[in-house]
């Protein structure tokens, strides 16, 4: 057993986990099921109680986690919340025990760098480790983890990453993982938007949706939307991928801004950003991202997949 893993086994110093929502909760659960002692905090008491029921210790504050755990994981929804948890009053920066932050959030490279600098002043290392694969990947332990940080810090927590999925070391500086994650998410959300338009166009032209997806996936147009999200969440009309439209807007917004800051003109990215923002404005921010198809159907005066099937029969 690697020394970094042995230090965190049940009965030793607990690991900390702050932010146990859609992604954080299944990741925290996997740590507990792997035998690690865990102290968790989230404003959602129900989420904390679910983990406490299987062995986690429920903390009453961020500071309590930082006072009891040497290594703390975060999975938080916005750059503002992440910065407050890390550097704000009662935050990780003031903790007596914490020496390493492992951040699974998607907050952008500029925020990650600022937090890493603020924590380093207090002797706390930051490992930038955003993940891709959605809630399903978090549950199965099949996430892609884009890791950036000092080699000594990575060596200590590397065995823990194996619990969550496959590790890709992308750099030595916090923020590099964030950049790659944002680029990945921008590609994914742009692919879903254009696939939605193609899907609705095909329906309006009388094509069978399932045949259409099969043909595209056998050809050069296949992408993450056609291979995964449409077959599993759109064609069955379940719309339950587990990632809200509002989070897509946040991620693609951060991605476009970072790319522009690097001097890249974002013609396509900006258009995709506008599509998602418009969907969010139609009372859709909290809806599952796969429901974008419903908005494209409405904008196109298309009755939807169910009506299309009725007409074909």
Based on the fold, state whether residues 38 and 127 are members of the same structural domain. yes
Express as a percent the part of the chain with pLDDT over 90: 88
Range of the domain at 187: 180-312
Q: Which of 58, 20, 54 lies closest to 39, judged by CA?
A: 58
Catalytic residue among 181, 229, 232, 250: 181
Mean pLDDT, the chain, integer: 93
Based on the fold, state whether residues 62 and 203 are members of the same structural domain. no
Residues 135-179 have pLDDT tens digits of 889 999 999 999 999 999 999 999 999 999 999 999 999 999 999
Domain containing residue 150: CATH number: 3.40.50.720
Helix (H, G, I), strand (E, B) or coil at 244: strand
Based on the fold, state whether residues 188 and 295 are members of the same structural domain. yes
Is residue 38 a contact partner of residue 94, using CB atoms and an 8 Å limit?
no
d(CA 74, CA 148): 15
In this predicted structure, what is the pLDDT of residue 13? 80
Residues 214-260 have pLDDT tens digits of 999 999 999 999 999 999 999 999 999 989 999 999 999 999 999 99
Residue 181: active-site member = yes
Which pTM does this prediction carry? 0.88
Question: Which residues, including other chains, have CB under 8 Å from residue 59's CB and lie 6 or more apart?
Answer: 16, 39, 40, 41, 65, 68
Helix (H, G, I), strand (E, B) or coil at 201: helix
Domain containing residue 256: CATH number: 1.10.1040.10
Based on the fold, state whether residues 296 and 166 are members of the same structural domain. no
């Amino acid at each position: 057993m690697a020394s970094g893993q042995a230090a965190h086994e049940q009965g030793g110093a607990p690991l900390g986990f702050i932010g146990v929502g859609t992604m954080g909760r299944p990741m925290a659960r996997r740590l507990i099921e792997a035998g690690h002692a865990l102290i968790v905090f989230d404003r959602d008491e129900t989420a904390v109680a679910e983990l406490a029921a299987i062995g986690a210790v429920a903390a009453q504050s961020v500071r309590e986690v930082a006072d009891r755990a040497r290594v703390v994981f975060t999975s938080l929804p916005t750059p503002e919340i992440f910065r407050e948890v890390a550097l704000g009053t009662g935050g990780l920066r003031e903790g007596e025990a914490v020496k390493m932050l492992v951040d699974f959030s998607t907050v952008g490279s500029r925020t990650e760098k600022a937090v890493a600098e603020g924590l380093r002043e207090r002797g706390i290392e930051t490992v930038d480790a955003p993940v891709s694969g959605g809630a399903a990947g978090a549950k199965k332990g099949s996430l892609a983890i884009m890791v950036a940080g000092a080699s000594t810090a990575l060596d200590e927590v590397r065995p823990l990453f194996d619990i969550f999925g496959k590790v890709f070391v992308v750099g030595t500086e916090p923020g590099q993982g964030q950049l790659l994650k944002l680029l990945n998410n921008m590609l994914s959300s742009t692919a879903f938007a254009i696939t939605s338009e193609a899907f609705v166009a095909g329906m309006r032209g009388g094509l069978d949706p399932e045949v259409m997806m099969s043909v595209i996936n056998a050809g050069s147009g296949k992408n993450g939307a056609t291979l995964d999200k449409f077959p599993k969440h759109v064609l069955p009309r379940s719309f339950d991928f587990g990632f809200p439209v509002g989070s897509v807007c946040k991620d693609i917004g951060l991605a476009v801004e970072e790319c522009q800051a690097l001097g890249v003109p974002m013609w396509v990215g900006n258009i995709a950003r506008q599509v998602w923002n418009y969907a969010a404005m139609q009372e859709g921010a909290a809806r599952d991202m796969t429901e974008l198809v419903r908005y494209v159907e409405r904008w196109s005066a298309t009755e939807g997949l169910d009506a299309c099937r009725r007409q074909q029969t």
